[in-house]
Amino acid sequence: MDDKGRHTFVCGHPIAHSRSPLIHNYWLSRYAIPGTYRTIDIEPTKFTQFMSDLPVSDFVGGNVTIPHKEAAYALAARSDDMCHLIGAANTLWIKDNLLHATNTDAQGFTANLDQQAPGWDKATSALILGAGGASRAVIFALQSRGFSSIMVANRTLQKAVELTHRFGPRVTAHTLDAVVELSRDVGLIINTTPLGMSQTPSFSIDFSNAKSGTLVTDIVYVPLRTPMLASAAQAGLRCVDGLGMLLHQAAPGFHKWFGIYPEVTPELRNAIVEDLVKFQ
Ligand code: NAP
């Protein structure tokens, strides 16, 4: 450690859009910890070299984002069970000169709902849109909270079917055509696809058949109020945005690198919301 403290990063390609530096630099300042957290743009062809250089670099660890999450999992010397389950890593740290990896998305997902919609896990059935890496994290989170029926609807049915093999009989696979029908009977609906993200097409879902207590959450957080959340709110359903998941998935990494488990406060959330306003 030099006199500037510990050094950390988020790497991706592109990376300029990442809100992670705002989050980690807020915590470094709040807890008066000497250290840095910076963005590094790494092209896919250079990622393997970047990973192999990390144990002998000045960094104590960092975050990995699109498109390197799967490669980070494959290249880390030690990946934990959460990485194996999800098939991707978002958090790295160096211990005993070895690169370790985990995935904190499931923790971020549950912590967000615990904070924004306490009691959300009283529901027993859920509908997940999407069957990618984030969907796996959400399935794990729901299973760990005792959900007995988890329906996964995906554009490519086969990918949803693969998740039923991986996660067992409480998970069922469906096509996106079935979403309106499936939404009638569930207590929780989660979008884990990029649809609705700023400058991408959005989902058009008719929520008029959903039960009045159904909670709808979108892990896309740019914009904060996605088209899906807007139509759910219009149908009178409770909604939770995806920003809290981003904030909470960041906390375990900060803890590993700097030794303090940071708090996700309204002040931090407001700082990021102000930054996101330009995308609304
Ligand atoms: P991924 O592994 O690439 O999976 C994407 C999923 O979305 C797949 O199921 C894919 O369906 C579906 N999809 C993509 N484009 C589609 C389209 N045009 N129409 C219908 N379905 C489509 O991605 P991921 O890592 O799971 O991430 C998904 C989203 O979650 C990203 O926007 C990411 O930024 C966000 N995210 C947010 C947080 C947070 O902290 N809030 C954390 C993690 C991820 P197919 O199988 O048919 O391709």
pLDDT tens column, 203-229: 778 898 899 999 999 999 989 999 999
d(CA 182, ligand 1 centre) in Å: 20
Contact of 83 with 70, CB cutoff 8 Å? no
| 12-26, 192-206, 208-222: range with lowest mean pLDDT | 192-206
Nearest ligand 1 atom to alpha carbon 130: 9
**How does DSSP assign 214-241, residue by residue?**
-EEEES--SSSS-HHHHHHHHTT-EEE-
Contact 260, 15 (CB under 8 A): no
Would you state the pLDDT for residue 2?
66
* 249 ligand 1 Cβ < 6 A: yes
Which protein residue's CA is at the shortest distance from atom 4 of ligand 1? 132
Kind plus residue range of the DSSP H or E element containing 24:
helix 20-30
Alpha carbon distance, N-terminus to C-terminus of the chain: 41
Q: Which residues have a catalytic role annotated?
A: 69
The strand ranges marked E within the chain are 6-12, 35-41, 59-64, 78-79, 91-95, 98-102, 125-129, 149-154, 171-175, 188-191, 215-218, 238-240
Q: Residue 230: its pLDDT value, please?
A: 94
Find tokens 């002040």 and name the residue. 267
Residues 6+ apart with CB under 8 A from 212: 236, 237
**For position 244, what pLDDT does the model report?**
97
Is the pLDDT at 271 greater than 90? The verdict is yes
Separation between Cα atoms, residue 7 and residue 25, nearest integer Å: 11
Pairwise pLDDT comparison (106 vs 199), residue with the higher score: 106
Average pLDDT for 251-275: 97
Q: Is 155 in the pocket of ligand 1 (CB under 6 A)?
A: yes
pLDDT of residue 197: 86
In this predicted structure, the answer to whether residue 245 has a pLDDT above a threshold of 80 is yes
Share of the chain above pLDDT 90, in %: 89
Q: Which residues are within 8 A (CB) of 263 and not within 5 positions of it... i.e. 6 or more apart?
A: none
Q: Is the CB of residue 197 below 6 angstroms from any atom belonging to ligand 1?
A: yes
Query: What residue owns the CA closest to ligand 1's atom 13?
Result: 193
Provide the pLDDT for residue 1: 66
Nearest C-alpha to atom 23 of ligand 1 is from which residue?
132
| 191 CA from centroid of ligand 1 (Å) | 9
Q: Is 67 in the pocket of ligand 1 (CB under 6 A)?
A: no
Q: Is the beta carbon of 245 within 6 A of some atom in ligand 1? A: yes
Q: Is the pLDDT of residue 24 over 70?
A: yes
Mutate to test the pocket of ligand 1, among 116, 192, 218 (most ligand atoms within 8 A of CB): 192
Residues 138, 128 contacting (CB under 8 angstroms): yes
Report the atom number in ligand 1 closest to the C-alpha of 242: 41
**Residue 268 · residue 26 · CB < 8 Å:** yes
Cα(110) to centroid of ligand 1, in Å? 18
Give the model confidence (pLDDT) of 115-162 as tens digits.
Answer: 999 999 999 999 999 999 899 999 999 999 999 999 999 999 999 999
- Ligand 1 mutation pick, 162, 219, 248, 264, max ligand atoms within 8 A of CB: 219
Per-residue pLDDT at 279: 61
Query: What pLDDT band is residue 184 in, cutting at 50, 70 and 90?
Result: very high
Mean pLDDT of 37-61: 97
User: Whose Cα sits closest to atom 7 in ligand 1?
Assistant: 193
Instruction: Say what the pLDDT of residue 17 is.
Output: 83
Render pLDDT for 68-112 as a digit per residue (tens, 0 to 9): 999 999 999 999 999 999 999 999 999 999 999 999 999 999 999
Q: Give me the sheet containing 238-240, strands edge to edge.
A: 171-175, 149-154, 125-129, 188-191, 215-218, 238-240
Ligand 1 test: best mutation among 10, 155, 175, 273, most atoms within 8 Å of CB?
155
Read off the pTM: 0.95
Confidence of residue 280 (pLDDT cuts 50, 70, 90): low
pLDDT at 147: 98
For ligand 1, atom 12, the nearest C-alpha belongs to 193
